[in-house]
């Protein structure tokens, strides 16, 4: 009886060992079959670059006229006006121009039957400027008073004439004053690089304008 019990015990132990081994093998095989999870990277979104207008005027550093600038008179048979000393002068027919870098004073003389008004300038000169001036942007048309009397002021933005070397235009702020007396109009066109603080110099020039006596 004792021998049978020992044999039975040994057989049971052997069966238990085989069972445990089988469970361990099954667990290992199951663990090995599990695939690691993968994450999908988000798709890159492409954004198109903003369109650049190749014909748009270039914005340069403002060219303020210095407070130390000296002004000298320029006199013709019809009028007198003070202009900055040392600026380059150019005369073409009835038009006189003074310039320094991107700052310009242009004086135009013409025969005109009637004095300009805000209404006539808006209906006449403004459409002409829109057609003739590169990158024209109207700001306002108004009547102002200067030492010589009333004038119509057109304030606008524009592109300069193309640079002869680079063919680029510079963004400008422009003030256009139209004076009139006895059938003669004198137009002062003052321009500078966009953002320049030339309020006082431009007022000095336009207030100095005087008709010949």
Sequence spans of domains, the chain: 71-211
**pLDDT at position 14 over 80:** no
189-209 pLDDT per residue, tens: 999 999 999 999 999 999 999
33-69 pLDDT per residue, tens: 445 555 555 555 545 555 656 567 777 677 899 989 9
Tokens 């256009």 map to which residue?
A: 176
Q: What is the CATH number of domain 71-211?
A: 3.40.1000.10
């Amino acid at each position: 009886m004792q021998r049978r019990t020992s044999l039975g015990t040994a057989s049971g132990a052997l069966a238990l060992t085989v069972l445990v081994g089988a469970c361990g093998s099954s667990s290992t095989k199951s663990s090995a079959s599990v695939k690691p999870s993968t994450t999908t990277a988000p798709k890159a979104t492409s954004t198109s670059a903003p369109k650049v207008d190749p014909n748009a005027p270039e914005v340069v550093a403002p060219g303020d006229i210095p407070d130390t600038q000296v002004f000298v008179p320029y006199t013709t048979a019809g009028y007198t006006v003070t202009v900055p000393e040392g600026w380059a002068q150019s005369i073409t027919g009835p038009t006189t121009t003074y310039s320094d870098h991107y700052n310009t004073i242009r004086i135009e003389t013409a025969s005109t039957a009637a004095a300009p008004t805000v209404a006539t300038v808006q209906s006449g000169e403004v459409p002409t400027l829109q057609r003739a001036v590169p990158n024209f942007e109207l700001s306002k048309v108004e009547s102002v008073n200067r030492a010589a009397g009333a004038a119509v002021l057109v304030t606008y933005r524009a592109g300069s004439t193309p640079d002869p070397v680079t063919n680029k235009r510079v963004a400008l702020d422009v003030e256009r004053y139209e004076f009139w007396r006895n059938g003669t109009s004198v137009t002062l066109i003052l321009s500078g690089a966009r953002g320049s603080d030339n309020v006082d110099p431009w007022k000095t020039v336009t207030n100095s304008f005087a008709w010949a006596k």
